[in-house]
Each structure stands twice: as structure tokens, then as C-alpha cells.
Amino acid sequence: MLLAGRRALSQFLLYQMFDSHYKKDAVIIGGGISGLAIAYRLQRAGLNILLVEKSARVGGALLTEEIDGFLVDCGPNSTLETSPEIGHFMDEIGLQGRRIYANPSAKKRFILKNGNLLALPMNPFQFLACRLFSIQAKLRLLAEPFISAAPEELEETIAQFVRRRLGKEFLDYAINPFVAGIYAGDPARLSVRSAAAKIYALEKNYGSLVKGAIKGAKQRQKMSETSKTKARLFSFQNGMTELANALAEILANSIQKRSILDRVELPGASGDFYTLSISQKTKRIKIEAKSLIFATPAHVTAGYLKSIDKSLSAKLQKITYPPVAVVFSGFKKQVPCRPLDGFGFLVPRVENRRILGTIWNSAIFPNRAPEGGFCLTTFIGGMRQPDLPQLDDRELGELVFDELKDVMQLQEKPDVLRIKRWEKAIPQYELGHQNSINEIEKLETEHPGLFISGNFRNGISVGDCIVQSKSLSSKIVDYCTKCVPESEVA
């Protein structure tokens, strides 16, 4: 009796520490695109949810600003429609009339070689005629189908894989710049199995990239998937932030901003709920959740998991996120420079430049610049030169102008300069990354109701996160419907 009385008193005092107490089917931590997409699907399935975001806005890297007539995407500027699921999702959330596809000319992409911008070939005939690759490199590609696959137990970097199958020149002038453009990464560090899983699968399943590209096209057609080289690129009339805003509006009453998860208690022997302590500026909230979903960057998730699984926490903490500076240059009128006749250009490491590449925004989508003007976005830093984003705005502006003057023959400085620094930009799927994913799956098995999402798992793009949210949400719904919690407790 005495022991029971002490427990009751302890529970009473614990409840007095909180201003409110709720029960939820699911609590999602993190309001980036992964968290928003999962929250939307769970709410649509009828679950009682709450999304917790520490900042004053949701959307994470989806950030668009309007500056003096220019539309500035400070994070992703577009995504690829590689799966019908992406289009269905946009239609569901009311963006069917807001989506805009890239100008057909944007399929043309340039690579800097010996100071000149050369078009990347888009078909076999262009490849044979292009000046980007030497005759030796083209002949080397013909030998690719006859190269043996690596042992399955061997984990290679992208650089090792490409050098072995395609040769050094293809690595330097095709793969290296695209890895920098997609991951802001270094192919000598990224795992081909994790960071380029579809390319790795071509060798594994077909024994050759060339054979796999031909035979794999039929398989993708059966699965209603589109290769990244053929998928349509799209954004929205007011930039990528429209996606975040649409989801935020639908989820308005289920989002708690400026809130921090302080503590997580695992379900007890007789309880099915995760007990969460959430702090806001003026109050604390206690929530009992049937399921808990972390949709935060790896290093943030690592902090939450420290008391649950130290080994996994340590692994997630080590996932690298290099810094990237996004430099937007807006011109209110046409100034002398090379024609903007494509998507933009990427810079291979061997060119020894101080930028990773530049997107020609106004040539890709309409309404990105005032009438008669144009705009560009240049990326700096990443794994290649992580110290450069630390330069001040004046230095970064001068750096970009000097590079574009040389590469694009740009003759005048921009009317609008907007610089956004991402201290931790894009997760790097380096060697051993799959081991961390395996441990995540093990954790989810050992702790029913606990789920981990984010762009450090199964793809970094906006489209990847949307596709992933469907399968993960299905698992969460299946789990939660086994035991629906009581209605909200005041």
C-alpha cells in the first residue's frame, strides 16, 4: 500500500510539471519534407497526429524568397518526376494547377573542360560526336560489357566502381561533376552501393551498365518508373516552398512550431505508449504516443537515440553533412554573357575552380526574374572545398563574379545578390552507410512503434522523400490501428 501510494504521488507530481497532457496515435519530430509528407499521409489515414518542429517555419531546406522581382530558391530549385507516386501526391495536396515543368531546352547540360563549356551528350550519336570525351574514352566504353562484376562482399566507392568499369576520363568529366552537383560530395568517399544504388544494381543484376541500361528500361516500364535521364523536372509557380506551404496549410492544427522534444521514455512492460516531454517558450507538454517518428537530420536523430541505442546514435552522428553556400545572382536587364541555352553547368574537380556549378534559373522556369532580366544560382563548398562557404558575403560575391566572368563571359555584376549558407547541407552516403541503415531496421524491430525517416535513408531528393513516405506511413498506420489510443485528455 505504501509503495503504491508513493507511485501515485510521484505520478501526480510528474503531471503537475506539464501545462497540458495529450494522447496521440503518432508524433512526428521534424518539419522538413520527410516529416510533412509522413504527417499528411497519417492524418489522411485517420490517425490523430502531431508534428513537432523546433523552428518558426516548416519546410526545412524548401525555402523560396521573393526579392525585388526575383524568385529565389535557397534550397532545392526543382525535383524529378521519377515515379507516378510523386505526381499523385502533388494532385492530392492541391498543387495540380501550380506545378510547372522545365523548359525543354533545360535538358541540355554543360560540363566545364579546359575552360570551355561542352554539352553533355544525351544519346549514343551525340556521345560519338561530342568533344567532351576523347576517342580513347569512347573506345573504353565499348569494353564495359566485357568487364567482370566485383565480388558482392566488396564495397567500392563510386570512384573505384566507375574507374574500374568506365575509366578515369569518364569519372573525371561525367561522374565527378554530377556527384558534386547532386550530393556536393566526393565520389572517392561515397559508397556506390548506397549513393548510386541503381547504377550498382545494373552491374549486380545484369553484369554490365550498358546491358543493364537497355534491359532495365523494360523493367522500369513495367514498374511505371522513369529513369532520371528521362524524368521530367518540375517546380511550382512560386518556387519549391509552395510544396511546404500546401502541406503546412493542410496540417495547420496538427503542427506545433517553436517546440523542442526534451525527453523520450520508452513504453513500459504494461504500457504501449512512448512518453514525450515537449518544451515551448512558455510551457511544457506531455504526450503519450502510440508511435514516434523521427524525421530529422542524422545528427539530430542521433541525439534523440543516445539513451535508446548508443551504437546507432554514434553511427548517425558520424554521417557527414558538408557546408554549402548558395549564391543567387539576379540581373534586371540583359548583360553581356554567353547564351543561357540549357540547365546550367557543372565543374569537375580536375578543373581546379572555386565553384561546384551554376544553374541558369530563368532559362529553366518562367517568372524567376523580372521581364527582360535573368538569374543564376551558383553553389560553393561541399566536400570539395568546405572552407569556402565561411567567406563573408562580399568575398563570396566577388568569387562568384570572377568565376562566371571567366566561364560564362559575364561582364557585369548582379543587381541582386542573395547568399544562403547551409552549415550542414546534404548527407553523404559514404562507405559503411548501409551498416547504419541495417541498424536502423534492427532498432525499429526491437522497439515497435518507433520509426526513423529522413533524406539520409533511401535517397536525398524531394521526390525520394515523398516516395519513401508512402511505404513508411503504411507501416505506421498498420501498427497504430492495432491499438487506437484513447481520445485526447485535457
* Structural domain boundaries in the chain: 2-56+257-319+429-480, 64-104+322-422, 123-227
The number of beta carbons lying within 10 Å of the beta carbon of residue 261 is: 21
The predicted pLDDT at position 2 comes to 44
Beta bridge partners of 327: 378, 419
- Decide: 82 and 223 in contact? Cβ < 8 Å: no
DSSP code, position 109:
E
C-alpha distances in angstroms, 410 versus 120, 215, 247?
22, 44, 39
Instruction: Extract the runs of DSSP E, i.e. beta strands, from 189-336.
Output: 233-236, 255-256, 260-265, 274-279, 284-294, 324-331
Residue 485 pLDDT exceeds 50: no
The pTM for the full model equals 0.91
Q: Backbone dihedral region of 388: left (phi > 0), alpha (psi from -120 to 50 degrees) or beta?
A: alpha
**Identity of the residue numbered 210:** V
Residue 266 in contact with residue 129, Cβ under 8 Å?
no
Question: Any idea which of 164-173, 231-240, 479-488 has the lowest mean pLDDT?
Answer: 479-488
Rounded mean pLDDT of 380-395? 98
Contact 1, 11 (CB under 8 A): no
The pLDDT of residue 271: 67
334 in Cβ contact with 412 (< 8 Å): no
Q: Please report, rounded to a whole number, the percentage of residues in the chain having pLDDT higher than 90.
A: 84
CATH architecture of 123-227: Orthogonal Bundle (1.10)
Integer angstrom CA distances of residue 403 from 293, 376, 381, 394, 410? 43, 13, 14, 14, 9
Summary mean pLDDT of the chain: 92
Architecture per CATH, 64-104+322-422: Alpha-Beta Complex (3.90)
Residues 135-194: tens digit of each pLDDT: 999 999 999 999 999 998 899 999 999 999 999 999 999 999 999 999 999 999 999 999
The residue to which cell 563548398 is assigned: 381
Q: To which CATH superfamily is domain 2-56+257-319+429-480 assigned?
A: FAD/NAD(P)-binding domain (3.50.50.60)
Q: In whole angstroms, how far apart are CA 442 and each of 191, 277, 431?
A: 21, 25, 19
**408-421 tens-digit pLDDT:** 999 999 999 999 99
d(CA 24, CA 438): 28
278-303 confidence digits (pLDDT tens): 998 888 999 999 999 999 999 999 99
128 CB burial (10 A radius; 0-12, 13-18, 19+): exposed
Cβ distance 288 to 307 under 8 Å?
Answer: no
Mean pLDDT of 237-258: 96
Of 238, 243, 279, give the one whose Cα is nearest residue 261: 279
